[in-house]
Chains A and B, each alone.
Chain A
Amino acid sequence: MSQTPTYIHDSELEKQTAPLPAVDANCMCVTYGEDTVLRDVTFSVPSGAFVGIVGPNGAGKSTLLKTLVGIVDLSSGSVNIYGDTPSRSRRMVGYVPQSDDVNWQFPVTVWDVVMMGRTPGLGAFRYESAVDKNAVNDALHRVGLLHRKDDMIRSLSGGQRQRVFVARALAQDARVLLLDEAFSGVDVGSQYELMAVLRRLCEEGQTVLLTTHDLANMARQLDTVLCLNCHLCACGPPDEVFTPEVLEELYGPYVVAAGSSYTI
C-alpha cells in the first residue's frame, strides 16, 4: 500500500502556519454488521485539491463520501474536515448525490434546488433574505446556469443537473464538494463541461472529491486519485498510480489483459 504524504514542510515556521488539510482520514474503518466496507483507509487532501476516488462496485467509494458528511459512522479511526469532525463541519461540506437517489419527477425549479442549500431547515416561514437570494444567484452564475434558473430540474440534461447540485453546494458556502458518481448518465460533451466547472472551482479554492468509473478519460484529468477496494490500494497522480499491478488489485486480471483501455 503506497500513501503519498501530501505535505512536506521544510521549516518549523511553515509547520506552524501550515493550513489545515481539507480532509484528513486516519485508519478509517467502516463495518456494516459482519461486512467490512472500509479497512484502515488513511489519506490527506490539501485545500484546493481535485481528487478522484476510483474502484470497483462495492469498493466503498460511496461509503467513504458518506463518512465525510457524517451520515455513516466510523467503527474505528478518525476523519476530519478542516480539523473538525464531519458532524461539526456539516455546513462546510457540499454533497452531490448519485442521480438514482434523486426524485426527478418532484416539481421543483433550478432555483428551488439551489435555495435548498441556503434553507435546509424545516420551517416554511424561514425568510429567504436578500443574502440568500444573492448567494443562489452567485452560485448559479459560477456553474454557468443562471439563465436556466426558472426551468424545471427535470427538463435539464444530466450534466446540467449535476451542475445545479454543485451550485447548491456553493450556495451553502461549502468549501469541500463531494460528488458521488459524478459522470454517470452524463454525455461526453457535458462531462468535459462539468470537469471544467469543477477545475475552475478548485482554482478558486474549493476542494473537490468525486467518485467515478471513467478511468480512461475523467480520472486522468484529476490531480490525485485514490484507488479504493475496501482498502486504499494506491494514491497519487493518475499517471503514476494506474499501473498494471494496481489495476489488477482493483478490477482483476482481465482489465490488465485488455491493455491500454481503462474504462470500466
Chain B
Amino acid sequence: MDLISYIVEPFQYGFLLRALAVAVITSITCPLVGVFVVTRGYGFMGDAMAHAILPGMAAALIAGLSPWIGMLPSALVFAFLVGFIVRKTGIQADAAIGIMFATLFALGILVMSLWGAQVTVSLEDILLGQLLAVTQSDILVTLGVASLTLLVFIGYFKGLMFVSFDPVGAEVAGIRVERVDYLLLALISVVVVVTIQAVGVVLVLAMLIAPAAAATLAAQRVVPTIGFGILFALIASIVGIYASYYWNLPSGASIAMASGLIFAIVALVRRRISRA
C-alpha cells in the first residue's frame, strides 16, 4: 500500500471523518484555555471538573436527555462552588477543589446506582469517551460551543492576560477581576464538557494540559504559546486517530498517549537546546 492511500484510507469511513472533525475542534479550544489553566496552576481544577460533571450527566441520561444538558450545569456549579468556598471560608483552593471533586463525583455514582438501572451508557464510555461514535449533531454542538468560546475568549483576551499575570494591578486598572476569573472558570467548564465527548472524563486532561504545558516550554509569549498548544494538540489527535484505526486501539487512550509523548519530546528537545 502506498503512502497516500495509507493516509487517506481511514477517512472513507464517515465515523472516522466525524471523529477527526471533533478532535480538530477540541484541539483548538483546549490549548486556548489550557495555557491559562497551566500558567495559573489550575490543572487539578480541570481534572476535578471532568469528574464533577458526573451527577449532571447521570441525571440527564436517566431522564432520557442528551448528556450535554446535564454536564454543563454540573461543571458550572462545580466551578462556582469552588470559588464560593474559597472566598467565604478562606481555605486553600486545592482543598476546596478536592472537597467538591469527591462530593460531586460520589453524588454521580449514587445517582447512577440508585436510578441508573435502565441507562445503557456504561461507565467506561463516560470515562474513555466515544470519539468513534460521534454523530452529525454532536459535531454541530461541538462547533457551536467552540465558536462561542472562541468569541468570548478573544473578546476578553487582554483582560484575561492582565488578571492572570497581575490581579492586583488589573483591579487597579479598573478591570473587574472577580468577573474575569469567573469567566475563565466558565470557559474551562465549557471546554471540559466539550472535550469529554471526544476523549472522555479521565483523558480530558490529556488535551487540556499536556499540549499547553508543552507549548509553554516551546514559546515565550501568550499568543505563540497558544499557537504551539493548538499545533501539539492537532498532532496528538491525528496521530491518535491513525493509531486507533491501524492498530485497533481505543481512540481516546491513543490521543492521550500521543499527547503525553509530545510533551516528553518537547521537554527533551528543550533540555538539549538549553544545554547547548
Contact = CB atoms under 8 A, between A and B. Distances in A.
Contacts of A112: 161, 221-222
A107 B170 contact: no
A106 B172 contact: no
B80 interface: no
Interface in A121-158: 121-126, 152
Interface residues of A, number: 32
B216 interface: yes
B222 A101 contact: no
A121 B159 contact: yes
Contacts of B168: 71, 95, 97-98, 101
Contact of B219 (A106, A107, A119): A107
Contact of B221 (A107, A126, A168): A107
B165 A103 contact: yes
Given A95-B172, A108-B221, A120-B174, A103 B162 contact: no
Contacts of A69: 172
B155 interface: yes
B220 interface: yes
Nearest to B40: A103
B154 interface: yes
Find the residue from A70, A90, A97, A113 having the highest chain B CB count within 10 A: A97
Contacts of B158: 116, 119-124, 126
B260 interface: no
A95 B173 CA distance: 9
Interface in B215-269: 216, 219-222, 225
Interface string B195-226: 00000000000000000000010011110010
A13 interface: no
Given A107-B219, A107-B220, A116 B166 contact: yes
A257 interface: no
A221 interface: no
A70 B171 CA distance: 9
B39 interface: yes
A91 to B, nearest CB: 9
Contacts of A97: 166, 168-169, 172
A103 B174 contact: no
Contacts of A108: 161, 165, 221-222
Contacts of B39: 103, 105-107
Interface on chain A toward B: helix, strand, loop, or mixed SS? loop
A103 B172 contact: no
Contact of B164 (A106, A119, A123, A168): A106
A120 B170 contact: yes
A181 to B, nearest CB: 12
B193 to A, nearest CB: 24
Contacts of A172: 173
B220 A109 contact: yes
A103 B42 CA distance: 13
A18 interface: no
Contacts of A122: 155-159, 175, 180
A258 interface: no
Interface string A5-32: 0000000000000000000000000000
B171 A71 contact: yes
B83 interface: no
Contact of A101 (B40, B167, B174): B167
Contacts of B159: 120-122
Nearest to A168: B169
A98 B167 CA distance: 11
Query: Nearest 5 pairs between A and B by C-beta?
Result: A124-B157, A120-B173, A122-B159, A97-B168, A95-B172
24 contacts: A71-B171, A71-B172, A90-B174, A95-B172, A97-B172, A102-B165, A103-B164, A106-B165, A107-B35, A107-B225, A108-B165, A113-B165, A116-B161, A116-B165, A120-B162, A120-B174, A121-B158, A122-B156, A122-B175, A122-B180, A124-B155, A126-B158, A152-B220, A168-B169
